Structure 1
Amino acid sequence: MKVSRLVTPEGEKAQINISVRNLVEFLLREGDIDNRRGSVDPFEAMQEGSRIHRKIQNSMGPFYSAEVPLKYAVEYDDYILGLEGRADGLVLDRDENGDVVTATVDEIKGMYMDVMTFEKPVLVHEAQAKCYAYIVAKEYELETIEVQMTYVSLETEEIKYFNKIYTYEEIEEWFLTIIGIFKKWADFQFYHKKELIDSIQGLQFPYDYRDGQKKLVADVYRSIYRRKTLFMQAPTGTGKTIANVFPAVMALGQNLAERVFYLTAKTATALAARDAYSLLVEGGYEGKTIMLTAKEKMCLCDEADCNPDYCPYARGHFDRINDVIYEVITKETVITRDILLGYAQEYVVCPFELALDVSTWCEGIICDYNYVFDPNVYLKRFFAEGKSGEHIFLVDEAHNMVDRAREMYSETLIKEEILSIKRYAKPVSRKLTNALEKCNRIMLEYKRLCDSDITVLEDIDTLVYACDNLQMIFEQLFKKEIKFGIYQDEVLDFYFRLRNFTAIAYQQDRAHYRIYCDFDEDKNFNLHLYCIDPSAQLQDRLRLARASVYFSATLLPIDYYKDLLCNDKDVYAIYVDSVFDQKNRLLLLGTDVTSKYTRRGDDEYTKFAKYIHSIVSAKQGNYMVFGPSYKFIEDIRQKYVELMENDFSDQGDFAWENISEIEREDSEVSYKEEFDNVELLVQRQKMTEQEREDFLLEFEKQRDKSMVAFCTLGGIFSEGIDLVGGKLIGVIVLGAGLPQVGNERKLMSDFFDEYGKNGFEYAYLYPGMNKVIQAAGRLIRTKDDVGVIALLDERFRFSSYRKTFPREWNDAAFTTVDDVSVKLTNFWEKKS
Structure 2
Amino acid sequence: MEGTCYTVALSVRHLVEYVFSSGSIDYRLQAMDAMHEGTKAHLRLQGEYGEGDRKEVYLKAEIPCGELLFIVDGRADGVLATEPLPTIDEIKSTGGELERVREAEGYPVHWAQAWFYAYMYARDTGTPVMRIQLSYVNTTTGETARFDREASFEELERDVWDMLERYAPFARLRRDHELRRDASIEALPFPFESYRAGQRKLAGAVYKSVEEGVSLFARAPTGIGKTVSTTYPAIKAIGRGLLQRVYYLTARTTTRAAAEDVLQLMAAKGLQLHAVTLTAKEKICFQEETRCEKEHCPFADGYYDRINGAMLDILANETLMTRPVIEQYARKHEVCPFEFSLDLAYAADVVICDYNYVFDPRISFKRLLGEAKKRTAILVDEAHNLPDRAREMFSGELSKAPFLGMQRAFKGRHQPAFEAAKAVNDYWIATRKRLAGGKPAISEKDRPDELIALVERFSEVVQPLLETEGGELLELYFLVQRFLRAAKLYDERFTTLIETSRNDVSLKLFCLDPSELVAATVKGYRSIVYFSATLAPLGYYMDMLGGGEGDYTLSLPSPFSREGLTVAVHPISTRYQDREASYKPIAEVIRRTVAAKRGNYMVFFPSYAYMNAVYEVYTHLLEEDEERPHTLLQGSGMSEEERHEFLDRFRPDGDRSLVGFAVMGGIFSEGVDLPGDRLIGVIVIGVGMPQLGLERDTLRSYYSSLGKNGFTYAYVIPGMNKVLQAGGRLIRSETDRGTLVLIDDRYEESGYRQLLPEEWRP
**TM-score scaled by length of structure 2:** 0.92
Alpha-carbon separation, structure 2, partners of 1:230 and 1:116: 48
What amino acid does structure 1 have at the position aligned with 2:415? R
- Post-superposition shift, 1:66? 5.8
SS in 1 for 2:624: helix
The residue identity in structure 2 corresponding to 1:519 is T
Which string of whole-angstrom CA distances, capped at 9 and with x for unpartnered residues, describes residues 337-388 of structure 1? 110100011111111111111111111111000111111221212269x994
The match for 2:529 is 549
1:392 to 2:372 alignment: no
State the secondary structure of the residue aligned to 2:39. helix
Q: What percentage of residue pairs aligned between the two structures are identical?
A: 35
Displacement, 1:732?
1.0
TM alignment of 1:798-817, pairs within 5 A: 798-810=749-761, 812=762
Q: Which ranges of structure 1 fall in alignment gaps of 5 or more residues?
A: 1-5, 95-99, 649-675, 813-832
**What is the CA–CA distance in structure 2 between the aligned matches of 1:776 and 1:225, rounded to whole Å?**
35
Q: Secondary structure at the match of 1:84?
A: strand
Q: Deviations over 1:18-37 (max 9, x none)?
A: 22332122112222222342
Shift of 1:135: 4.7
1:500 aligns with 2:465: no
| Cα separation, 1, equivalents of 2:212 and 2:704 | 34
Equivalent pair of 2:234/2:246 in contact (CA under 8 Å)? yes
Could you say which residue in structure 2 is the equivalent of 1:726? Answer: 677
Report what 1:351 is aligned to.
337
Q: Are the structure 2 counterparts of residues 103 and 753 from structure 1 closer, same or farther at C-alpha, using a change threshold of 3 Å?
A: closer
- 2:603 maps to 1:631: no
| 1:646 aligned partner | 624
How far residue 581 of structure 1 moved from its aligned partner, in angstroms, is: 1.6
- 1:174-323 matches, cutoff 5 A: 174-207=159-192, 208-323=194-309
CA pair 797-494 structure 1, distance change in 2 beyond 3 A: same
8 Å contact 1:79–1:190 — kept in the other structure?
no
Query: CA distance change for structure 1 residues 338 and 19 in 2, over 3 Å: closer, same or farther?
Result: same
Is residue 433 of structure 2 the alignment partner of residue 452 of structure 1?
A: no
The Cα shift of 1:498 comes to 2.5
Deviations 1:569-594 (A, max 9, x none): 43322111111122122111112x22
CA deviations 1:237-277 (Å, max 9, x no partner) are: 00111111111112222322221111111111111111122
3-state SS in 1 of match to 2:678: coil
Query: C-alpha root-mean-square deviation of aligned residues, in Å?
Result: 2.9
Amino acid at match of 2:683: I
Instruction: Specify whether residues 161 and 561 from structure 1 end up closer, same or farther in structure 2 by C-alpha distance, changes over 3 A only.
Output: closer
- 1:490 aligned partner: 472
Tell me the residue number matched to 1:479. 464
**Cα deviation per residue 1:444-471 (whole Å; 9 max; x = unaligned)?**
55445532244332313542xx423532
Equivalent residue in structure 1 for 2:71, among 68, 82, 85: 82
The 5 Å alignment of 1:85-104 reads 85-87=74-76
Q: Could you tell me how far 1:595 is from its partner in structure 2?
A: 1.5
Contact 2:651 2:677 in 1 (8 A): no
Shift of the alpha carbon at 1:700? 3.1
CA contact (8 A) 2:680 2:739 kept: yes
SS in 2 for 1:782: coil
Give 2:499's aligned residue: 518
- 1:764-779 equivalences in 2 (<5 Å): 764-779=715-730
| Aligned match for 2:748, one of 782, 789, 797 | 797
Give the counterpart letter for 1:600 in structure 2: R
Deviations 1:746-774, CA, capped at 9 Å, x for gaps: 22222222222222211221111111111
Q: Which residue number corresponds to residue 697 of structure 2? A: 746
Task: Tell me, in whole angstroms, the C-alpha distance in 2 between the residues paired with 1:446 and 1:569.
Answer: 44
SS at match of 2:542: helix
Measured in 1, the distance between the counterparts of 2:152 and 2:458 equals 43
Indicate whether 1:414 and 2:408 are aligned.
no
Give the TM-score of the pair, scaled to structure 1: 0.84
Cα-to-partner distance string for 1:787-810 (whole Å, 9 max, x where unaligned): 111111121111111100112223
Which secondary structure state, in structure 1, belongs to the residue aligned with residue 641 of structure 2? helix
- For 2:72, give the aligned amino acid: L
Within 2, Cα distance between the matches of 1:786 and 1:70? 64
User: In the alignment, which residue of structure 2 is the partner of 1:434?
Assistant: 419
Q: Report if aligned partners of 1:121, 1:149 keep a CA contact under 8 Å in 2.
A: no
Are 2:600 and 1:622 equivalent residues in the alignment? yes
Contact 2:114 2:134 in 1 (8 A): no
Distance 1:160 1:198 in 2: 51
Q: Secondary structure at the match of 1:42?
A: coil
Q: Does the CA-based 8 Å contact 1:745-1:763 persist in structure 2?
A: yes
Match status 1:527 vs 2:524: no
Which is greater in Rg?
Answer: 1
Contact map agreement 1:556 1:805 (CA 8 A) in 2: no
- TM-aligned CA deviation for residue 490 of structure 1: 2.8
Aligned AA (1:372): V
Alignment-derived partner of residue 28 in structure 1: 20
- 1:662 alignment partner in structure 2: none
Tell me if the contact between 2:446 and 2:495 (Cα under 8 Å) persists in the aligned partners: no
Contact 1:115 1:159 in 2 (8 A): no
1:125 aligns with 2:110: yes
1:101-124 CA-partner distances (Å, limit 9, x unpaired)? x87655555554126842544222
User: Structure 2 regions of 5+ residues with no counterpart?
Assistant: none
CA distance in 1, matches of 2:522, 2:91: 34
Q: What is aligned with 1:54?
A: 46
Structure 1's 568 and 761: CA in aligned 2 closer, same or farther, altered over 3 A? same
Structure-1 separation of matches of 2:79 and 2:707: 58
How many Å separate the matches in 2 of 1:610 and 1:431?
66
Residue 624 of structure 2 aligns with an amino acid whose one-letter code is N
Tell me the SS of whatever aligns to 2:619. helix
Q: Kindly indicate whether the alpha-carbon contact (under 8 Å) linking 2:604 and 2:684 is maintained by their aligned counterparts in 1.
A: yes
Aligned to 1:15: 7
User: 1:333–1:435: structure 2 CA closer, same or farther, 3 Å change rule?
Assistant: same
1:646: Cα distance to partner? 2.8
Instruction: Please list the CA deviations of residues 179-231 of structure 1 after superposition, one character each: whole Å capped at 9, or x if unmatched.
Output: 22222222223333333333323322112111222111111111222222211
Shift of 1:691: 0.8
322-331 or 172-181, which moves further after superposition?
172-181
Q: Show CA shifts across 1:451-510 (max 9, x none).
A: 2244332313542xx4235324423432354655xxx53333333222222322232222
**SS in structure 2 of the partner of residue 595 of structure 1:** coil
Q: 1:378 and 1:67 mapped to 2: Cα distance?
A: 24
1:56/1:689 CA distance change after superposition, 3 Å: same
